[in-house]
Amino acid sequence: MNFALAVHGGAGLSRAGSLSPERQASCRAALEEALRTGARTLASGGSAVDAVEAAVIILEDSPLFNAGHGAVLNADGDAELDAGIMDGRQRTAGGVAGLRRTRNPIQAARAAMEHSPHVLLSGAGADAFASERGLAQVDPAWFVIDERKAQLANLLAGTPDDGSDAYGTVGAVARDLEGHLAAATSTGGTAGKRYGRIGDSPIIGAGTWAWDSTCAVSCTGDGEAFIRSHLAGRVSDWIEMSGLSLREAAHRAIHHDLTGGKGGLIAVGKAGPAVMPYNTAGMFRGRIDMRGEPEVSIW
């Protein structure tokens, strides 16, 4: 069995070429690091779950994306973090929402999957659970960077978007050497969000999905549209019920089933390479398998 891994760092760029060469190079380097980290896990016989968690941690720790350190800020200027993970072997899953202190939300999501009777935990309770499981806690200010402060100020002032921003949600999907699948997604959500808003990333079947019989999917984009469209699960449904290929199912989900929203997804199936469709000008994305070097793209 040939392993496969894909990662994304968000879809939502409004026009091609809107990033500086320096920013593009930094984003590509971070995506490549995530791919190499996950691939090392898979090549050494690690599980798909181990690989997607390891890859997402790299992207959560990077200030370049909307997850973990560098996440977008809510209307009060705080980071509220969501993450979801799913193991395709028995369709076990875990999600966390509204974290403010857990350094790596994807670790909290995995802990919820493996050590909690609940699928989705939120707010202070989710942070408390993560702390009880021994996961690193940080001052909430650790997540906040100057770039996101400026973004929020412009948003609240009604300054027009210059087209250089992206949603920036991060995610990974993997198939391991035993053929098992997993998916993981992590995000800060929507800039300027209010009222404890929760997006699609921690919601199983909306932004995250994995089942060994069909595929593993991680989504990025307009969260409300992905929730309404049941998009990650939709890819699996097309494969299971209509016999579509992974590529056909993923393309149909993004270009036909995603109503009223923009974004993209990465997906891997029981065989073959990952697919990475999107309907925006660009999506930070990359894939790797045991036969080659990382393939990273933005446009």
Catalytic residues: 169
With H, G, I as helix, E, B as strand and everything else as coil, classify residue 37. helix
DSSP annotation string for 98-160: EESSBS-HHHHHHHHHHH-S-SEEEHHHHHHHHHHTT--B--GGGG--HHHHHHHHHHHHTPP
Walk across the sheet containing 215-221 and list its strands: 208-210, 215-221, 263-269
Quote the tokens at residue 37. 């980290």
Question: Going by DSSP bridges, is the β-strand pair 282-289/4-13 parallel, antiparallel, or unpaired?
Answer: antiparallel
d(CA 46, CA 38): 9
DSSP 190: S
8 A C-beta contact, residue 73 and residue 194 = no
Residue with tokens 């705080």: 78
